[in-house]
Chain A
């Protein structure tokens, strides 16, 4: 190899390494564990074991890391402050799935083979679907990240429940709010061409008509990074008073909003749970101001939050904003605690079937303040949520409705 060649390779190698180092330094690398274990030791008798297929890397890591932190903090709090349930303490074992359904199943097999798991947290709809028969066979109760309407079916998914309203119910809460505030309003639905995006659409179109609203358009955008120019033009032609997005986290929502404003449109934009965290709204920049949506939980900074049991504990542990997905992890724990208590009080063992029976018997569940009203399961979901609006001046989401319980509006 000639000296010149070596020099050029050396230069390229060094320059690339320097560039990489520079970029790494420019970002705060997220704390990305691939396994978490908290609570009592595995050999502790009678431990209540929570297993978790948690997306700590991959595209859903922004939520997965928060689920992990939320469940971990719940377990510490429940063991130290509450002494567990009837003296039985919690143990949490979560492993990274990379948000890949095959890996999630692998993690489930690994954790359930080495631990006596009582309760499980899943990371996606695909995982919830594929693990369902194994859950039934092993008699384990599960919840998780998915709000898929399909899962809200106790006959087909007897050992799974959702941590809030399913996607159809979320859009239903938005539509109820619109019908109340602005009867007869024109509503458009915009969704991604994914299973996630299509989930609530057909039912929501019908519900809008039933509520006396005018459903003016449903717009589909292709999956992946794509241009929404023509979709934005379609939206303008439909002239909706309200536009509900579903099936996205962030993009292309800010682009839709910017284009609508440039075209002088007067429509209010709304979203569902995974778009509604403060961190995502902040990423929207100017477009985020005034964005509305449904959120089943209180925000960290809610005025009433410090007076509640759960947020009181969270505020003691963290003096900075915690994401709504973190609260979701806590809610899983709080519900498990009450379900386990009811099961043990009935003199039953903590099997999936017994816990399901206990879940069905519970009414007006106190979530420790995570949800602002006592809640009761309807099928596999909790059909309660609140409408919030992004206030750029205050830099936070402000509630614009009371808690809406679909059981009371039906």
Chain B
């Protein structure tokens, strides 16, 4: 056994797992506040990446400004979807809302193909590209910096949920909507807040994913693996998304090297099946979650 190689492969897996975790947090934020499983998350992520592409490569804006605008655009997309599509459906059968998010995913893919076409593109580089070594182990700089950025963002979110008024309002709404109303919390605003934040997180994850794997109108497929991550971690648990994201990233990476690339997704979905059989509410989720 080549332990250095194993360590390098593990670091690579954890690095990519951080992106799963980051997108997973966006899933969880929406689910916690609105009880909506948003299947368009992968496509929101894709839209954010294309926004950055449009600002950086189309308008030739400075990278930092393109990033800010893409994040703002992602938030705006989340707000718009919530206000115009999701909120009128609240109180409806969860399956209906679930199906609408599938439709939203197709709409976003269509929109991207109309605006930017489906031609293969590379995202302008914005992460440092000096090689990074931890001891003797090589870590690809993009993976390393994605991990650091995702880690910092998730940490900030955990702190915000705990101490910020908006975060407390979100948690209050998540635990009991009626009581939150009664205590004077503006629940509709919390809905908007959650979708706006999730849109921004997804756009951020899209930038990082796009810089690693390139952008295409099919990159929303990534959202499917993230759905596995949040189901494994627990749909309403930020910590669950974090742990499951890293875990699945790590296991996929090992499976890719020791079993072959064709087994990466297979292993992921086997994990999903096992978790659904043994612990359907996820590793860290709340037990009374309604199943669809």
Contact = CB atoms under 8 A, between A and B. Distances in A.
Nearest 10 interchain pairs by C-beta:
A251-B214, A26-B58, A229-B12, A220-B261, A250-B120, A227-B16, A225-B219, A62-B119, A224-B221, A225-B213
Nearest to A287: B122
Contact of A229 (B15, B83, B122): B15
B120 A233 contact: no
Contact of A252 (B13, B138, B213): B213
A17 to B, nearest CB: 10
A259 B114 CA distance: 32
16 contacts: A9-B83, A16-B80, A23-B58, A23-B115, A26-B58, A57-B113, A59-B217, A59-B218, A61-B117, A222-B264, A226-B264, A230-B12, A249-B120, A262-B141, A263-B138, A284-B122
A337 B256 CA distance: 48
Contacts of A29: 114-115, 117
Given A13-B84, A229-B140, A233-B138, A61 B256 contact: no
A228 interface: yes
A34 to B, nearest CB: 13
B262 A58 contact: no
B9 interface: yes
Nearest to A286: B125
Given A19-B76, A219-B261, A230-B9, A250 B214 contact: yes
Contacts of B129: 258, 262
Given A26-B58, A58-B113, A220-B261, A231 B214 contact: no
A62 B118 contact: yes
A251 B120 contact: yes
Task: Name the residue in A12, A219, A254, A280 with the highest tally of chain B Cβ atoms < 10 Å from its Cβ.
Answer: A12
A253 to B, nearest CB: 9
Given A193-B261, A234-B257, 20 more contacts: A15-B80, A26-B59, A61-B119, A225-B214, A225-B216, A227-B19, A229-B13, A229-B15, A229-B143, A229-B253, A230-B13, A230-B256, A233-B8, A237-B5, A250-B121, A251-B213, A251-B214, A259-B140, A262-B131, A283-B121
Interface residues of B, number: 62
Contacts of B256: 221-222, 230-231
B77 interface: yes
Nearest to A249: B120
A227 B212 contact: yes
B15 A224 contact: no
Given A15-B76, A230-B257, A251 B216 contact: yes
B121 A222 contact: no
A225 B50 CA distance: 14
Interface string A229-273: 111111011000000000001111011001100110000000000
Interface in B102-116: 111, 113-116
B59 to A, nearest CB: 5
Contacts of A3: none
A237 B83 CA distance: 52
Interface string B61-95: 00000000000010011011001100000000000
B118 A59 contact: yes
Contacts of B122: 250-251, 254, 283-285
B33 to A, nearest CB: 18
Contact of B120 (A57, A58, A222, A283): A283
B178 interface: no
Contacts of B111: 20
Contacts of B117: 27, 29-30, 32, 61-62
